Amino acid sequence: MTLEEHPAVRRHKEKQAQAASDEGPIDAAWLRDLCLACGADDVGFVGINRPEIASQAFDIASVFPKTKALISIVCRMNREPVRSPQRSVANQEFHETYDHVNNVARKITRMLEDRGIRALNLVSAFPMEVGRTGKGWIVGHKPIAEAAGMGKMGLHRSVIHPKFGSFILLDTVLVGREISEESKPLDYAPCLDCKLCVAACPVEAIGQNGSFNFSACYTHNYRDFLGNFVDWTGHLADSKNRQEFRERVSDGENITMWQSLSFKPGYKAAYCMSVCPAGEDVIGPYLDDRIAFTREFLQPLQAKEEIIYVLPRSDAETLVPKRYPHKEVKLAPWAVNTSSDPYSFFFGLTLTFQKRRSKGLEARFDFNLTGDTPVKASMKVSDQTLSVEFVQNGPADVTLNMPVDCLLHMMDRDFDLGRAIASGQVNIEGDAELVEKLIDCFPEYGDIEYAS
Ligand code: B12
Ligand code: SF4
């Protein structure tokens, strides 16, 4: 038998001829029906050249260079389990929906593949490229969902669907063919600006003005995930004996970690989603009686006795004992791999900035970092916000000339600024006290010392 006569080759050629005959854009109405039949609760379509996703074009090409269009998939979570203060119930709902939305994306991809259309289903959340430094996820689903008209990010930063509200999870399918009609973004924001999410978050990760304290959420909510797991293994390795280990990590925490490893990692909170009244299907009880809504959905979360993980010298460390004296506060280190690459390090500072601690500081700091790759950067603290730029425009209050590693040590607090200045290691033009104040805007990096 020649290669041409081989059954697999003949069937492939037949399919090729069929695919060539439907080579134009995929019919949007047909595709929508297909996605809903696969289990999606809503879908929207976005072309690869849309400006809203331009910043992700490189990452999209890195995983599927043939991408011409994207399908944004929304799957609903059941509301009551997500609202429950009991973590097992809420986590089960999160994980089931994550599996479901992944399966839906996979089914859609299979159906397209069977019709000769190349497609790739992304991952909803985990697994991610967690081993590498920097961002672990490939593509961010939220901006795609916004562009596809699936909702808009609310004050709490999650996408709120106009009908299902915050109780949704997202995924994206990359498609190697254009789609006949693209979806438009929503022309209003479903968020009501009620700020219940601000009140619900035990570590005040969500600010009244929409600021987001990444490090506070990551340290508490993700205690059983990623770098925080590495911290747990650190305790295991550093403890002299089982007694010391149990002093550092309680039996309850160890068993919780066992459960996370055996089943799926448990989120500690996600309260910002639980209390959100936005969305046509959700809003009724809130409009009927706001006080009753708060009593039913917010107060049980606030009253819950639980461990809250906070970074040393963070806003949450001060705030949680005052606001929630019945919750136990435990210190945990900043467990994101702090890179010695100055660009990543400065970016990391935007994730750990503590706005309450920055109150009263209004200053611009120029950094001239020396080392293998000299870097010029400018940090501005104003009105309890931090901005970082890699250009130096205009006069700075303080200019710091120093080697890159000094910056790292400064944040670890294993650094005596006065001595470094005296020894000529660091040169400061301006008020050195402002530098102390700047350092105080960040939690203490590095491992936590335990007296044993
Ligand atoms: C990173 C991430 C997080 C981070 C940051 C959250 C955030 N606001 O972006 C942390 C760990 C804190 C987090 C927490 C949660 N997440 Co999350 N998370 C993601 C992920 C992987 C990417 C998000 C993203 O694109 N952000 C970029 C832009 C759009 O968001 P941003 O707010 O402007 O950016 C912030 C961060 O992303 C961060 N960041 C940006 N670039 C980089 C780079 C590095 C190296 C680092 C470390 C951080 C970082 O800094 C920004 C400022 O805080 C997506 C899954 C995915 N692949 O898309 C899920 C996703 C956003 N998460 C989700 C959920 C459900 C949660 C939690 C409720 C977890 C839970 N189940 O308990 C909480 C909610 C916290 C909150 N209020 O936002 C859902 C949201 C669904 C929805 N309705 O929108 C998503 C879409 C997963 C999914 N497939 O459905 N998450
Ligand atoms: S809880 Fe209120 S403020 Fe927060 S996202 Fe939902 S509607 Fe917006």
Q: 273: Cβ below 6 Å to ligand 1?
A: yes
7-175 CATH fold: NADH Oxidase (3.40.109)
- Cβ pair 266, 91 in contact under 8 A: yes
- Nearest ligand by distance to the CA of 343: 1
- Nearest ligand by distance to the CA of 74: 1
The token pair at 229 is 């797991």
Q: 386: Cβ below 6 Å to ligand 1?
A: no
Return phi, psi of residue 157, to 5°: 80, -5
Protein residue with its CA nearest to atom 1 in ligand 2: 276
Instruction: Look up tokens 């492939």; give the residue.
Output: 12
Q: 271: Cβ below 6 Å to ligand 1?
A: no
Q: What is the dihedral of CA 319, 324, 327, 329, to 10 degrees?
A: 10
> How far is ligand 1, taken at its centre, from the CA of residue 35, in Å?
24
Q: 158: Cβ below 6 Å to ligand 1?
A: yes
**Residue 279: its pLDDT value, please?**
98
pTM, two decimals, is: 0.93
- Give the amino acid at 333: P
Integer Cα distance of 420 and 198 in angstroms:
41
Residue 129: C-alpha distances to residues 35, 132, 226 (Å):
27, 6, 11
Which sequence spans correspond to the domains of the chain?
Answer: 7-175, 196-331, 342-439
CB atoms under 10 Å from CB of 238, counted, come to 13
Protein residue with its CA nearest to atom 27 in ligand 1: 140
- Ligand 2, CB cutoff 6 Å, lining residues: 154-156, 166, 191-197, 275-278
CB atoms under 10 Å from CB of 234, counted, come to 15
CATH number of the 342-439 domain: 3.30.1050.10
Residue 443: C-alpha distances to residues 134, 215, 319, 365, 413 (Å):
19, 9, 14, 18, 9
CA atoms within 13 A of residue 366's CA, in its CB half-sphere: 15
Q: 157: Cβ below 6 Å to ligand 1?
A: yes
Max CA distance (Å), the chain:
85
For 252-374, where are the E strands, in sequence order? 307-310, 328-331, 363-370
Q: What is the dihedral of CA 310, 316, 317, 319, to 10 degrees?
A: -150
Pairing of strands 307-310, 328-331: parallel
**Residue 342: its pLDDT value, please?**
82
| Atom of ligand 1 minimally distant from the CA of 201 | 77
Integer Cα distance of 355 and 386 in angstroms:
8
Integer Cα distance of 130 and 274 in angstroms:
27
Integer Cα distance of 399 and 403 in angstroms:
13
**Residue 20: its pLDDT value, please?**
47
Helical segments of 157-267, H only: 196-200, 214-221, 226-238, 242-248, 251-262
> How far is ligand 2, taken at its centre, from the CA of residue 145, in Å?
18
Q: 170: Cβ below 6 Å to ligand 1?
A: yes
Residue of 100, 89, 265 lying closest to 168 (CA atoms): 100
> pLDDT digit of tens for each residue in the chain (452 aa)?
888 888 887 877 776 656 545 679 999 999 999 999 999 999 999 999 999 999 999 999 999 999 999 999 999 999 999 999 999 999 999 999 999 999 999 999 999 999 999 999 999 999 999 887 778 899 999 999 999 999 999 999 999 999 999 999 999 999 999 999 999 999 999 999 999 999 999 999 999 999 999 999 999 999 999 888 989 999 999 999 999 999 999 999 999 999 999 999 999 999 999 999 999 999 999 999 999 999 999 999 999 999 999 999 999 999 999 999 999 999 999 888 766 778 888 888 999 999 999 999 999 999 999 888 889 999 999 999 999 999 998 899 999 999 988 888 888 887 788 888 899 889 999 998 999 999 999 999 877 777 65
Cis amide bond preceding 51, omega within 30: no
> How far is ligand 2, taken at its centre, from the CA of residue 291, in Å?
15
**Residue 138: its pLDDT value, please?**
94
Residues with Cβ within 8 Å of 441's Cβ and at least 6 positions away in sequence, in order, are 353, 354, 357, 358, 361, 381, 386
Q: Which residues pair with 174 in a beta bridge?
A: 70, 120
Residue 121: C-alpha distances to residues 51, 62, 114, 428 (Å):
22, 14, 14, 51
Q: Which residues pair with 160 in a beta bridge?
A: 152
> How far is ligand 1, taken at its centre, from the CA of residue 140, in Å?
8
> How far is ligand 1, taken at its centre, from the CA of residue 395, in Å?
35
Integer Cα distance of 45 and 142 in angstroms:
13
- pLDDT tens column, 309-356: 999 999 999 999 999 999 999 999 988 876 677 888 888 899 999 999
Q: 159: Cβ below 6 Å to ligand 1?
A: yes
> How far is ligand 1, taken at its centre, from the CA of residue 317, in Å?
23
| Atom of ligand 2 minimally distant from the CA of 192 | 7
